[in-house]
Amino acid sequence: MNALCDYCHNASWHIRLFLTNKTDTMHKKHQVVIIGGGNAGISVAAQLLRKNNTIDIAIIEPSDKHYYQPAWTMVGGGFYDIRDTIKPESAVMPEGVNWIKASVVSFQPEQNAITLNSGTQINYEFLVVAPGIQLNWKEIKGLEENLGKNGVCSNYSFSTAPYTFECLKNAKKGRAIFTSPHTPVKCGGAPQKIMYIAADYFKKNALSKNIQVEFWSGGTKLFGVKKFEDALKKVIAKFHIKENYYNKLVEIDGANKRAKFVGFGEQNMDLETWVDYEMIHVTPPQSAPDFVKNSPLANAAGWVDVDKHSLQHVKYANIFSLGDASSLPTGKTGAAIRKQAPVLVQNLLSLMQGATTKASYNGYSSCPLITGYGKLILAEFDYDNIPQETFPFNQAKERWSMFILKRYILPYLYWTKILKGKM
């Protein structure tokens, strides 16, 4: 495409967006309203429109940027450019969708309405709730003020993921601590992936004898699927990583480079432990967004309360949810969303046509566990933690081919296929 064509294409795109947004201010009711312009929301909208391009769809999304977050672990490991993980939200918004650039503050499901931060009320015939997960940095004392300095890093933030690699390069001796909270997190394997990458980095740079890698987890075990946990235990042993479970990170003392953990469970209930560190990678506690937690749509734990197979709300039949904010008892991963979206779309279309919902989600999730540079274990499983392997070989074995899948193929598929509603 030449420069003139580029200009014309971009101009027409911006004109369309302007007209769309102008229309949004005039029409306050839509056939389908989707909350969230991340992986889940965009995928559902794109798939709906591929099935029926006459559906009136509005997406409520306040951000003007869209991130490919699965790559941030690789950014932290020093082998992915952070700039390749971001695109304008306008570039992924499906053509024909009404983009409402705002935030939701409350739900009125009895009136089929939601209220925006502007005070505007939006009505819907059908609602899809997919706002993603909330990172609760403030729950850990001292974390926000130390994040990005004093050896405190996190791949869960676009702005701080590059600092993780700086911490790896600067570490010479002492403890390298990697935490996982007591809450569900997006990509439950991410807290471990960077730990294995770091351990491999230290080994390749002859630092293993000087740096002790430690895993401090609020969970009860390394991984929920035995086949893959057994494989990861071998990785843990290979790198001589120390494991600590039933522990919550509660405070960071950046000036003195120490972290405070509080134990729970029978063995170490309320036991307080201060640990010195050279670097600490923090995975923050996470939850559904506040406007979801405090809404009539939430279950007791704060997640959108949906049937785990149909993805339909247990009380409000015209409301669906998928992705990280939903109550679905499976891994909060992009791979799970890829299997959830077609089920939701089929059931939503059936409901729109007055038919019953028949499509069923089996809880499939996947976690590409990077276990070092050029090595990956591809964990795939369902609700019952039974392996659901795609390839005709043992996926619990570390493989270079699966690393290539993670590094090159999955990002390509995300931008060109998944967000386009093609898979």
* Domain harbouring 161, CATH code: 3.50.50.60
Q: What's the pLDDT score for residue 9? A: 38
Query: Are residues 161 and 241 located together in one domain of the fold?
Result: yes
Query: Are residues 201 and 232 located together in one domain of the fold?
Result: yes
Catalytic residue from among 8, 153, 167, 367: 367
Query: Are residues 86 and 186 located together in one domain of the fold?
Result: no
- Per-residue pLDDT averaged across 180-202, rounded? 97
> Does residue 17 lie within any of the structural domains?
no
Q: Which two tokens stand for residue 243?
A: 């494991």
The number of residues making up the chain comes to 423
Catalytic residue from among 8, 153, 167, 187: 187
Q: What's the pLDDT score for residue 27? A: 56
Angle at 62 between CA 115 and CA 140, to 5 degrees: 95
- DSSP output for 220-271: SSS-SSHHHHHHHHHHHHHHT-EEE-SEEEEEEETTTTEEEEEE-STTTTT-
Query: Are residues 110 and 184 located together in one domain of the fold?
Result: no
Partner residues linked to 178 by β-bridges: 215, 281
Q: Which of 267, 283, 299 is the last residue of a domain?
A: 283
pLDDT in tens, 215-238: 999 999 999 999 999 999 999 999
* Rounded alpha-carbon distances, angstroms, from residue 378 to 195, 266, 325, 337: 17, 33, 24, 17
SS3 label, residue 210: coil
Query: Letter for the amino acid at 252?
Result: I
Q: What is the pTM of this model?
A: 0.92
Separation CA 35–CA 326 (nearest Å): 12
- Domain extent, residue 48, equals 29-133+288-361
Residue 354 has pLDDT above 60, yes or no: yes
Query: Are residues 149 and 234 located together in one domain of the fold?
Result: yes
Given 3-state DSSP classes, what are the helix, strand and coil percentages for the chain, each rounded to the nearest 5?
A: 35, 25, 40
Q: Output the CA torsion sign for 410, 413, 414, 418.
A: negative
Q: Which residues of 382-414 are buried (b: 16+ CB within 10 A; e: fewer)?
A: beebeebeeeeeebbebbeebbebbbeebbebb
- Per-residue pLDDT averaged across 89-95, rounded? 98
Q: What's the pLDDT score for residue 118? A: 95
Residue 192 has pLDDT above 70, yes or no: yes
Q: How many domains does the chain have?
A: 2
> Does residue 331 lie within any of the structural domains?
yes
Separation CA 295–CA 298 (nearest Å): 6
> Does residue 392 lie within any of the structural domains?
no
Closest by CA position to 366, among listed 236, 241, 223, 231: 223
Query: Are residues 90 and 109 located together in one domain of the fold?
Result: yes
Told to judge if 8 belongs to the known catalytic residues of this protein, a careful annotator would answer no
Told to judge if 153 belongs to the known catalytic residues of this protein, a careful annotator would answer no
Q: Which of 228, 253, 283 is the last residue of a domain?
A: 283
Q: What's the pLDDT score for residue 266? A: 81
- 91 vs 7: which has the higher pLDDT: 91
Query: Are residues 195 and 301 located together in one domain of the fold?
Result: no
> Does residue 340 lie within any of the structural domains?
yes
Separation CA 17–CA 12 (nearest Å): 9
Q: Where are the beta strands (DSSP E) in 138-222?
A: 152-153, 174-180, 211-217
Cα end-to-end distance, the chain, whole Å:
27
pLDDT in tens, 124-157: 999 999 999 999 999 999 999 999 999 999 999 9
> Does residue 385 lie within any of the structural domains?
no
Q: Output the CA torsion sign for 89, 421, 123, 359.
A: negative
- Per-residue pLDDT averaged across 78-95, rounded? 98
Q: Output the CA torsion sign for 280, 187, 126, 28.
A: positive
Query: Are residues 241 and 142 located together in one domain of the fold?
Result: yes
Query: Are residues 266 and 151 located together in one domain of the fold?
Result: yes
Partner residues linked to 122 by β-bridges: 114
Query: Are residues 278 and 318 located together in one domain of the fold?
Result: no
Percent of the chain residues topping a pLDDT of 70: 94
Q: What's the pLDDT score for residue 14? A: 40
> Does residue 408 lie within any of the structural domains?
no
**Local structure of residue 280 (DSSP, 8 states):** E
> Does residue 370 lie within any of the structural domains?
no
Q: Which of 236, 254, 283 is the last residue of a domain?
A: 283
Query: Are residues 157 and 275 located together in one domain of the fold?
Result: yes
In which band, very low, low, confident or very high, does the pLDDT at 3 lie, cut at 50, 70 and 90? Answer: very low
pLDDT in tens, 106-115: 999 999 999 9
Least confidently predicted of 17-26, 149-158, 219-228, 277-286: 17-26
Query: Are residues 73 and 152 located together in one domain of the fold?
Result: no
Separation CA 323–CA 132 (nearest Å): 7
In which band, very low, low, confident or very high, does the pLDDT at 268 lie, cut at 50, 70 and 90? Answer: confident
> Does residue 117 lie within any of the structural domains?
yes
Residue 167 has pLDDT above 80, yes or no: yes
